[in-house]
């Protein structure tokens, strides 16, 4: 059996933990640069607010209904997620952290150790997560990961279930499959949904009744066949095989929309250098090195600049590396190739691909080692200092602010960002 724990309206729930007065009031959280809605409370959803709605378009509605608006606070959300996932890892044999607010649980063999049933165990998990972190969750339990995902969806949509949906019998599974539209099945995208509707398949139950030949032909070969088998109750997918339940990324991207259009090369260089530095940190954290780098720039489609509105260039590095200095150097060279004087840029980003284990990189004919021992120690010390004293404490000069600057020119807007209550000493709540 598998379980799926999903935090309800996660970003909103994180804000409510430290501001209980928001309970019962509609709340939304905005994306980077305060662009669009990325998290909504149940009360906000009832007003008709949709995921991805641009803030400027729905602002009158937000004001009309006194909706609380917050800028993204990813430091807070990441730490709250870590607390939830840590607890889950203590009560089940294995956890797959699927996203910042979702985790699959391995419940195989736990039936003989729980007091009542897996359903009561799931309710205990839900209650303990709420008590320990203040984050409400829903839990789906089923024989396969796909059915557990479906069960979790039903637990969210049906308040009378008490936040837990347990699909332990064929009868319950058939009922659950009949309740879910085919486009809401995990792994079915818009294009597949259109094909299935054209074939007269509108529900998960109809998809579960498909033949393997049909699934292979219309749903991507063996992937589609596995999906159908999972809906039929036969497990084909296991948890992610890694120590902490997460999978190493196959590519890394760090990009941001600027708070204002930038036309000065040093300002955009600072942004690209900061993105390359951040991507290098993530590379070292998962023990990989990158062999290719893509740098892109974007202009506003609604401005006065002529198309194309986006341009990019790809570098193949001579030797795969995770060295911040080297990656920033290549990012600077890429930016020089893309730069057009007089243009106003609104976004930039760095993408690292061709990842391979650090220390096992393919050398060139004249390379004795991929990187010197001195540079390895330098990167290790850089990471250690930034972990101890905060991200960005030690950085390259290319990413540093100019004298007199207090905010980076590329920094996004965050008018309503709350304090980092759990990760920044100055922001800790004081109880009098």
419-428 long-range contacts, Cβ below 8 Å, gap at least 24?
A: 419/76, 420/73, 420/75, 420/76, 420/79, 421/18, 421/76, 422/76, 422/79, 422/80, 422/83, 423/75, 423/76, 423/79, 424/75, 424/390
Which superfamily, per CATH, for 252-399?
Answer: DNA polymerase, Y-family, little finger domain (3.30.1490.100)
Q: Is the pLDDT of residue 145 over 70?
A: yes
Q: Is the pLDDT of residue 364 over 80?
A: no
Place 245 in a pLDDT band, splitting at 50, 70 and 90: very low
Average pLDDT estimate for 127-148: 96
Q: Is the pLDDT of residue 142 over 90?
A: yes
Whole-number percent of the chain with pLDDT over 90: 60
DSSP annotation string for 147-197: HHHHHHHHHHH-GGGTTEEE--SHHHHHHHHHHSBGGGSTT--HHHHHHHH
The DSSP element (H or E) to which 289 belongs, if any, is strand 288-299
Classified as helix, coil or strand, 331 is helix
pLDDT at 84: 96
Average pLDDT estimate for 393-421: 83
Cβ–Cβ under 8 Å, residues 45 and 28: no
Domain range list for the chain: 9-75, 76-232, 252-399
Question: What pLDDT digit, counting tens, does each position of 43-96 carry?
Answer: 999 999 999 999 999 999 999 999 999 999 999 999 999 999 999 999 998 999
Is the alpha carbon torsion for 366, 370, 374, 375 positive or negative?
positive
pLDDT at 249: 72
Cβ–Cβ under 8 Å, residues 184 and 156: no
Q: Is the pLDDT of residue 269 over 60?
A: yes
Place 307 in a pLDDT band, splitting at 50, 70 and 90: confident
Q: Is the pLDDT of residue 369 over 70?
A: no
pLDDT at 244: 47
pLDDT at 421: 87
Confidence (pTM): 0.84
Q: Is the pLDDT of residue 238 over 70?
A: yes
Q: Which CATH number fits domain 9-75: 3.30.420.40, 3.40.1170.60, 3.40.630.20, 3.30.2350.10?
A: 3.40.1170.60
Q: Is the pLDDT of residue 367 over 70?
A: no
Q: Please state, rounded to an integer, the average pLDDT across all residues of the chain.
A: 89
Residue with tokens 């019962």: 24
Q: Is the pLDDT of residue 330 over 50?
A: yes
Q: Is the pLDDT of residue 348 over 90?
A: yes
pLDDT at 361: 65
Q: Which CATH number fits domain 76-232: 3.30.110, 3.30.70, 1.10.1060, 1.10.10?
A: 3.30.70
pLDDT at 370: 57
């Amino acid at each position: 059996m598998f379980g799926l724990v999903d935090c309800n309206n996660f970003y909103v729930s994180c804000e409510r933990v430290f501001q209980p007065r928001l309970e019962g009031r509609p709340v939304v959280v905005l994306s980077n640069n305060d662009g669009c809605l990325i998290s909504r409370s149940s009360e906000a959803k009832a007003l008709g607010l949709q995921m991805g709605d641009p803030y400027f378009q729905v602002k009158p509605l937000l004001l009309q209904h006194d909706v609380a608006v917050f800028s993204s606070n990813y430091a807070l959300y990441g730490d709250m997620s870590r607390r939830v996932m840590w607890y889950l890892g203590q009560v089940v044999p294995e956890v797959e952290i699927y996203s910042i607010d979702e985790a699959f649980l391995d419940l195989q063999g736990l039936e003989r150790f729980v007091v009542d049933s897996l359903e009561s165990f799931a309710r205990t998990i839900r209650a303990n997560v709420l008590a320990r972190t203040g984050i409400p969750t829903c839990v789906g339990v089923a024989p396969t990961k796909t059915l557990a995902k479906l069960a979790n969806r039903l637990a969210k949509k049906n308040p009378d279930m008490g936040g837990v949906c347990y699909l332990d019998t064929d009868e319950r599974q058939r009922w659950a499959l009949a309740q879910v539209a085919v486009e809401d099945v995990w792994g079915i995208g818009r294009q597949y949904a259109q094909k299935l509707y054209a074939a007269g398949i509108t529900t998960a139950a109809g998809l579960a009744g498909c033949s393997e030949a049909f699934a292979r032909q219309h749903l991507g070969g063996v992937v589609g066949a596995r999906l159908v088998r999972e809906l039929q109750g036969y497990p084909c997918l296991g948890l992610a095989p890694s120590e902490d339940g997460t999978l190493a990324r196959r590519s890394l991207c760090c990009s941001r929309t600027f708070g204002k259009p930038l036309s000065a090369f040093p300002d955009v260089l600072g942004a690209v250098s900061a993105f390359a530095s951040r991507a290098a940190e993530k590379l070292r954290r998962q023990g990989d090195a990158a062999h290719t780098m893509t740098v892109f720039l974007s202009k506003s489609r609604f401005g006065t600049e002529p198309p194309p509105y986006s341009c990019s260039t790809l570098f193949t590095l001579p030797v795969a590396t995770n060295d911040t200095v080297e990656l920033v150097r290549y990012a600077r060279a890429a930016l020089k190739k893309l730069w057009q004087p007089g243009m106003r840029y609104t976004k930039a980003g760095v993408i690292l691909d061709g990842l391979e284990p650090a220390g096992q990189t393919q050398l060139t004919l004249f390379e004795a080692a991929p990187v010197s021992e001195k540079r390895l120690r330098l990167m290790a010390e850089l990471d250690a200092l930034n972990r101890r004293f905060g991200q960005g404490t030690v950085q390259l000069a290319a990413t540093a602010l100019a004298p007199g600057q207090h905010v980076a020119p590329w920094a996004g807007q965050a008018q309503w960002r709350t304090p980092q209550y759990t990760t920044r000493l100055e922001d800790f709540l004081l109880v009098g």
